[in-house]
Structure 1
Amino acid sequence: MQQPLFTALLIASFTLFCFSCYRRLSLVSVGSEIDRFDQPLSRLKEMLVYAIGQRRVVRTAFGVNHGVIFWGFLVLALANAEFLVSGVFPGLSFAHLPEPLRNTLYFAFDICSLATLIAVVLAAVRRIVNPPYAEARTFEAFFILAMIALLMLAYFGMHAAEIALGQLPAGSAFPISGLLARVLVSTPLAGALPALPETFWWIHALVLLGFLNFLPFSKHLHILTAIPNVFLRNLDRPNSQQREVFADGNSYGANSADQMSWKDLLDSFSCTECGRCQKVCPAASTGKSLNPRLVVHALKENLLERRWPGSAGQPAALIGEGRGQSAAASLWSCTSCGACMEACPVFIEHLPKVVKMRRHLVQMEAEFPEELLNFFENIEQRSNPWGMAPSERVKWASQLEIPAFVAGSTEYLLFVGCSGAFDARNKQVTVALTKVLDAAGVSYGILGKEEKCCGESVRRLGNEYLFEMMALQSVEQFRSKGVTKVITQCPHCYNTLKNDFRDYGLSVEVVHHSELIKELLDRKALQVRGVQELGDVVLHDSCYLGRHNGVYEAPRATVLQLTGAPVRELERNRENAFCCGAGGGRMWLEEHEGTPINKNRVQEALAKDPDTICVACPFCMTMFEDGLKDHADATAQVKDIAEIVALGLEGAKA
């Protein structure tokens, strides 16, 4: 009776499982095209390291616990496959394998079952006592954990009973089940031993098939999609955005699922809802309404409203206040720092989704914060955020002899940037940088009043049409001037010229001033003395220099050489650094929710009791200077890396 009944259940369960998976995952096809099948060998390597190896998962202490569950499942998948096959074809069983191989498999299954059971219990306790976020205590989460635990217990019960009845060898092949068998024969259940193997077998079978069919309807669908999602990840750093095609009749940005890419939609099914993204998000962790986890979750809910690809009826818009929607106000809180993407174990791409929805708001609805109206107008009319006349761009150099860039006789273009040219504090950094370049004999020149804003903030704020015009003008200018090498002091300019402008045909060597300074020091082109008056130095990692472009060592090495001591690292540093709050166009917006992000970061820096806070970004400079105004008793000064080196030059001359 067992074999025919189980065969029928298995066929029905697998049919329903396949149908449910198809019904859900086929929705991914409504997304727009994006190429994620290039470099297959690199993708395979990344999948093995990050999906199978769980590299990002085990970064945190409790991530190891999830890793145990995952790796246990990989091993036990073989045991469960044998369980299902032998239920239909009893002759196809590991019991018929050669004894050494058979016993090795049995030992592995026994140990992995115990490890998985312990990990599941710990996961349940953690979710009760200290959940990753408040909403993590859900019925579904505990139900899934209970099903996994029941599978392990049924496995032990079945094998312990078989060992007690002499149907399986009790030796070292089943260390845990063998121990339970000895316990079992001394309990009241000993009298029911003949019925226990089949009872536990059926419990295991029903829970396994039930779990299989619950999977497509739960967040644990990520068990099926996470590994492919890692394979299909963006192999580049998240430092650029997809270019739009402007033509009559086109819509721009995204306010419906079909305006997202199919990878965006696959992301929504791959989210494990672990909460790591919201924990590191500057907006979420300072009381803003933006939560990157909920942005992805809302996309999934919105997509599921379709039920079938091409189904009748229009689902709700992605932007709004209802179920399956993200509030417009929350989208403007994103600093585009990329911390969410750096933390995500399955490489979900939160930032591009936010930018796409911003693009829709700006370009299709003309709906954006009021402060941005003047910002966009100033950029469009005067090519700088303050609306200053182009002639004002060179006032910082009025007392200096700064050469103009001339192709053929000038090696580098010094791209000063808007902050370096117009902001009073950052003008000092520009002057310091030119002193460093002059001292090292670097051949450089500037565009002067002809220099234009790179448009980085414009693009991250969603005004892609304006950015397109700016990018095309700048690329044409660079080409006509014969520019091949560029120095920037602003990581946002650096990222735009190096990464964004590639899609517009610009191919030049772009170097951030922190990188060039380190190179000059390394080859002894600069004669500097030790700078002791800086005292203890802490270093803030700019998101667009570090996380987006991987430049971490250059400023650290420079501080070490100038002061003779390594920087004091902030609690959140390098790829885990916390944003200053100015990225994603937030430099030009006020914060109306929660705690200002820059105040959070300043407090973290002051906790290290520094004498100097070192930055390598004009936006970071502004945010730290503003944040320190709330700490009248603080004596720390903020210095750019170029200013620190300029101090060393002055000492060397003396």
Structure 2
Amino acid sequence: MQQTLFIAMLTVSLAGFAFSCYRRLALVTVGSSEDRFDRPLDRLKEMLIYAVGQKRVVSRPFGLNHGVIFWAFLALALANLEFLVSGIFPAVSFALLPATVHGALLFLFDICSVATLFAVVVAAVHRTVQPPFDGARTLEAYIILAMIATLMLAYLGLNGVRIAQGMLPATTATPVSALAASLIRATPAATQLETTGNVFWWIHAVVLLGFMNFLPYSKHMHILTAIPNVFLRTMGESNTQERESFLEGNRFGAATVDRLSWKDLLDSFSCTECGRCQQSCPASSTGKALNPREVIHAIKENLLRNGAVMDKLAGDLAAERTISLIGNETKGSIKPAALWSCTSCGACMEACPVFIEHLPKIVKMRRHLVQMDASFPEELLNLFENMEQRSNPWGMAPAERSKWSSQLNLRPFEAGETEYLLFVGCSGAFDARNKQVSVALTRVLDAAGVSYGVLGKDEKCCGDSVRRLGNEYLFDQMAKATVEQFVAKGVTKVITQCPHCFTTLKNDYRQYGLELEVMHHSQLIDELVAAGRLTLSGTAEIGRTVFHDSCYLGRHNNVYQAPREVLRMAAGQEVVEMGRSRENALCCGAGGGRMWLEEHEGTPINRSRVQEALAHKPETICVSCPFCMTMFEDGIKDVTGVTTQVKDIAEVTALSLQQSLLPPSIS
């Protein structure tokens, strides 16, 4: 009777589980196509390291607790498989294996069960006492933890009964189950071992099958999707955006879930709701509307509410019946203010243990607002007009672009005569403070004998800000013009002082068929010193120095060591690392086009970052980005009585050269 009942329950449960998974995962297919199956061996390696190995999970202190639950879950999957099979065929079990193998498995299952039980208790206490984010104390979370704990207790109780009955040996292979057997023998249950065993068996069966069918409807769906999601991650750094096709009749950006890719939608089912993204997000941590975790959750909510009617065969009519992804009130929608708060720093993606890609989704929604609805902050109107008409954020006349170098006698770039194009960038050419960095950089290049030239008044903005702000059409026009110019002039090697120019020329322009060797000035200076072409005295008097990592140089392009090496050699000392540095560094607040927008909510991000730097009592804050320079200098002005200076690494390098090579002041 028990066997028949269990077979019926298992059949219904497996059918229900399969149907639920199908209903959920089929929704992913409403998304647009995207190729995520290239480089399968590399993907498999990454999956083993980050999904199975839990590398990102255990990189933070409490992550080890989740790692224990995950690894134990993998081991106990074997025990649960045996449980299900023996429920149908009682004679089939691991006991048929050689004694040594059976003993090893029993020991593994015993240790994993008690380790999981302990980890679950720790997780429950942690969630109660110190939740990772507001709202983390959900009934669903406690139900899941309770079900896992019940499974462990039922397994140990069942094995304890079997040992008490003499069906399993009480040996060192089952230390925890042997303890459970001793406890059972000391209770009235010792006189009814068969009944007690049946109770534990059915508790395990009901909870296991219930847990399995609860998964597809809970946030623990990530148990099924997280490992594939890591396999399907963007290989390398996520440092560019998908290009759009501007054909008549096309829609641009994403206002409904079918405008996102299927991988974007799979991301939404893979979120573990651990809260790491929002803890790392500069906008979220300074009181802005943006919360990366809620963005992903809203996409999932929107997909669940709308996916069923978004059959691709139904066309636009179905899309019109859906709830927009972008809105202020509706559940499953994201506030426009949240989208405009993003600095595109990538901290959320760096922190996510399952490689969810938040930034591309935000940019797609910005594209819809800008290109389809013409709905964007009023401050951006002048920016877009200036970029379109004069190819710089301030609307300065192109002739003004070369005035910073009027006293330097720089050579124009000529293919075959000059090796590198020095791409000065808008800030380096127009901003008064960053002009000084441009001059210092030319002094360094001259001292090393680097063959370089400039475009002068013919240089155009690379278009980084307009692309990240969602004006893809304008970026497309700007990129095409620059690519045409570079090809005509024979540009193949480029030096930049701006990480935003660096990543745009290096990564974004590949989509337009332009392959360039692009070097950030920190990389080039580091190489010049290593090659013996540039000798630094190590005497730059900058005092105690902290270094701030640019998001677009660091997280987006994995350049961390070069600027530190340059500072070490120029100043003769190691830089002081802030608490949040390298891949965990806090953004200055200027990325993603935020350089051109005021902050109307919460604490200004640059002020928070300046306070982090000043906590180390530095005489100098060193940067490697003109946007960071501006944000730090503005932030320091808000702090009374501080004499800390902000310098670019090119300026520190110039200070380390002979006196005759020091840059003149620029007004």
TM interval, short-chain normalised: over 0.9
Deviation (angstroms), 1:532: 4.6
TM-superposition CA deviations, 1:401-431 (whole Å, max 9, x none): 1111111101000000000000000000000
Answer yes or no: is the 8 Å Cα contact 1:127–1:137 preserved in 2: yes
Q: How does 1:424-573 map to 2 (within 5 A)?
A: 424-573=432-581
Amino acid across the alignment from 1:251 = R
Aligned with 1:315 (options 312, 317, 322) = 322
Amino acid across the alignment from 1:152 = M
Corresponding residue of 2:394 = 386
Deviation (angstroms), 1:317: 0.5
Task: Write the distance in 1 (CA, Å) between the matches of 2:107 and 2:305.
Answer: 46
Amino acid across the alignment from 1:317 = S
Deviation (angstroms), 1:278: 0.3
Task: Write the distance in 2 (CA, Å) between the matches of 1:225 and 1:440.
Answer: 52
Task: Write the distance in 2 (CA, Å) between the matches of 1:260 and 1:169.
Answer: 57
Amino acid across the alignment from 1:319 = I
Answer yes or no: is the 8 Å Cα contact 1:528–1:652 preserved in 2: no
Deviation (angstroms), 1:306: 2.8
Amino acid across the alignment from 2:491 = V
Amino acid across the alignment from 2:384 = F
Amino acid across the alignment from 1:327 = K
TM-superposition CA deviations, 1:111-152 (whole Å, max 9, x none): 000000000000000000001001100000000000000000
TM-superposition CA deviations, 1:529-586 (whole Å, max 9, x none): 2225211111000000011011111111111112221100010011111100000000
Deviation (angstroms), 1:173: 1.9
Matched, 1:362 2:375: no
Corresponding residue of 2:67 = 67
Q: How does 1:400-419 map to 2 (within 5 A)?
A: 400-419=408-427
Aligned with 1:643 (options 627, 651, 666) = 651
Amino acid across the alignment from 2:554 = G
Task: Write the distance in 2 (CA, Å) between the matches of 1:97 and 1:411.
Answer: 70
Matched, 1:326 2:334: yes
Amino acid across the alignment from 1:605 = A
Q: Secondary structure at the match of 2:179?
A: helix
Task: Write the distance in 2 (CA, Å) between the matches of 1:194 and 1:645.
Answer: 80
Deviation (angstroms), 1:187: 2.1
Corresponding residue of 1:243 = 243
Task: Write the distance in 2 (CA, Å) between the matches of 1:485 and 1:169.
Answer: 72
Task: Write the distance in 1 (CA, Å) between the matches of 2:310 and 2:540.
Answer: 68
Stretch deviating more after TM superposition (120-129 or 92-101): 92-101
Task: Write the distance in 2 (CA, Å) between the matches of 1:252 and 1:351.
Answer: 17
TM-superposition CA deviations, 1:327-379 (whole Å, max 9, x none): 01110000000000000000000000000000000000000000000000000
Q: Secondary structure at the match of 1:568?
A: coil
Stretch deviating more after TM superposition (536-545 or 515-524): 515-524
Deviation (angstroms), 1:630: 1.1
Task: Write the distance in 2 (CA, Å) between the matches of 1:297 and 1:237.
Answer: 23
Amino acid across the alignment from 1:110 = D
Amino acid across the alignment from 1:281 = C
Stretch deviating more after TM superposition (457-466 or 96-105): 96-105
Amino acid across the alignment from 2:322 = P
Unaligned runs of 5+ in 1: none
Q: Secondary structure at the match of 2:337?
A: helix
Amino acid across the alignment from 2:643 = T
Answer yes or no: is the 8 Å Cα contact 1:26–1:308 preserved in 2: no
Deviation (angstroms), 1:653: 6.6
Corresponding residue of 1:122 = 122
Answer yes or no: is the 8 Å Cα contact 2:326–2:334 preserved in 1: yes
Stretch deviating more after TM superposition (164-173 or 111-120): 164-173
Corresponding residue of 1:81 = 81
Amino acid across the alignment from 2:587 = C
Aligned with 1:399 (options 403, 407, 424) = 407
Q: Secondary structure at the match of 2:288?
A: coil
The 1:547–1:307 alpha-carbon spacing in structure 2 relative to 1, beyond 3 Å, is: closer
Corresponding residue of 2:44 = 44
Amino acid across the alignment from 2:324 = A
Residues paired across the two proteins, number: 654
TM-superposition CA deviations, 1:149-203 (whole Å, max 9, x none): 0000101111111111212111122110101111221123323323111110000
Stretch deviating more after TM superposition (180-189 or 591-600): 180-189
Deviation (angstroms), 1:83: 0.3
Amino acid across the alignment from 2:194 = P
Answer yes or no: is the 8 Å Cα contact 2:367–2:472 preserved in 1: yes
Amino acid across the alignment from 2:163 = I
Corresponding residue of 1:196 = 196
Task: Write the distance in 2 (CA, Å) between the matches of 1:650 and 1:585.
Answer: 38
Task: Write the distance in 2 (CA, Å) between the matches of 1:203 and 1:492.
Answer: 58
Q: Secondary structure at the match of 1:251?
A: coil
Answer yes or no: is the 8 Å Cα contact 1:529–1:651 preserved in 2: no
Task: Write the distance in 1 (CA, Å) between the matches of 2:105 and 2:236.
Answer: 40
Answer yes or no: is the 8 Å Cα contact 2:547–2:621 preserved in 1: yes
TM superposition score normalised by structure 1 = 0.99
Q: How does 1:109-258 map to 2 (within 5 A)?
A: 109-258=109-258
Unaligned runs of 5+ in 2: 663-667
TM superposition score normalised by structure 2 = 0.97
Deviation (angstroms), 1:652: 7.7
Answer yes or no: is the 8 Å Cα contact 2:540–2:653 preserved in 1: no
Q: Secondary structure at the match of 1:46?
A: helix
Q: Secondary structure at the match of 2:273?
A: coil
Q: Secondary structure at the match of 1:613?
A: strand
Task: Write the distance in 1 (CA, Å) between the matches of 2:222 and 2:281.
Answer: 22
Task: Write the distance in 2 (CA, Å) between the matches of 1:524 and 1:23.
Answer: 63
Answer yes or no: is the 8 Å Cα contact 2:537–2:569 preserved in 1: no
Amino acid across the alignment from 2:243 = R
Answer yes or no: is the 8 Å Cα contact 2:306–2:323 preserved in 1: no
Q: Secondary structure at the match of 2:515?
A: coil
Corresponding residue of 2:292 = 292
The 1:494–1:244 alpha-carbon spacing in structure 2 relative to 1, beyond 3 Å, is: same
TM-superposition CA deviations, 1:33-73 (whole Å, max 9, x none): 10000000000000000000000000011000000000000
Answer yes or no: is the 8 Å Cα contact 1:529–1:652 preserved in 2: no
Matched, 1:272 2:272: yes
Task: Write the distance in 1 (CA, Å) between the matches of 2:386 and 2:194.
Answer: 84
Q: Secondary structure at the match of 1:649?
A: coil
Stretch deviating more after TM superposition (628-637 or 219-228): 628-637
Answer yes or no: is the 8 Å Cα contact 2:219–2:272 preserved in 1: yes
Deviation (angstroms), 1:310: 4.2
Task: Write the distance in 2 (CA, Å) between the matches of 1:511 and 1:310.
Answer: 45
Task: Write the distance in 2 (CA, Å) between the matches of 1:174 and 1:522.
Answer: 60
Deviation (angstroms), 1:527: 3.1
Matched, 1:576 2:576: no
Q: Secondary structure at the match of 1:135?
A: coil
Q: Secondary structure at the match of 2:306?
A: coil
Task: Write the distance in 1 (CA, Å) between the matches of 2:134 and 2:188.
Answer: 43
Task: Write the distance in 2 (CA, Å) between the matches of 1:262 and 1:458.
Answer: 26
Matched, 1:104 2:104: yes
Task: Write the distance in 1 (CA, Å) between the matches of 2:233 and 2:401.
Answer: 41
Task: Write the distance in 2 (CA, Å) between the matches of 1:454 and 1:307.
Answer: 38
Task: Write the distance in 2 (CA, Å) between the matches of 1:206 and 1:604.
Answer: 52
Corresponding residue of 2:8 = 8
